[in-house]
Amino acid sequence: MIGASLNSSGPAARALLFCMNLAADDFELFGLPRRFAVDRADLDARRRALQGEVHPDRFAGADAAARRAAMQSAVRVNEAHARLADPLKRAAYLCELAGTPIRAEDNTAMPLESPNACPPSVSTSMASSPPT
């Protein structure tokens, strides 16, 4: 873990917080293999353990830089947990990590050449049938 015997003040506190690799992917941050299947109870337990190490309350008496680092670390843990806990977000994140972002926020077009696109018979019948 990040540091069980921390007195939460001074440069030691800052150095300890910066040991958390904020650039690590979410799976690495939680010490999990990069795959879709996630044990939710294990994920939640790992989040509690990480938050126990970096929660801003532990650094209330530290200098401003350590408090800021604690806040950034806690936010990073919460965001990663939210992404991994939700199956749709986790799937999209895995696609992104594999180099194929789904761009759900702006990708609303269905490519016509896609093997998953509607077959011509379906799209033709949809266009010719009256709305219901």
Cβ proximity of 70 and 55 under 8 Å: yes
User: How many domains does the chain divide into?
Assistant: 1
pLDDT in tens, 20-63: 676 789 999 999 999 999 999 999 999 999 999 889 998 899 88
Domain containing residue 75: CATH number:
1.10.287.110
Residue 44 lies in a domain: yes
Going by pLDDT thresholds of 50, 70 and 90, the confidence category of residue 10 is low
Closest CA to 83 of 72, 93, 73: 93
Instruction: Find the largest Cα–Cα distance for the chain.
Output: 72
Residue 85 lies in a domain: yes
CA distance 37 to 33: 9
**Would you put residue 45 in left (φ > 0), alpha (ψ -120 to 50) or beta?**
alpha
Mean pLDDT of 81-109: 90
Cβ proximity of 12 and 69 under 8 Å: no
Residue 123 lies in a domain: no
Is 121's pLDDT higher than 70?
Answer: no
pLDDT at site 78: 96
Q: How much is the pTM?
A: 0.67
Residue 124 lies in a domain: no
Residue 18 lies in a domain: yes
Q: Give the whole-number percent of the chain exceeding pLDDT 70.
A: 66
Which residues form the domain of 103?
A: 10-107
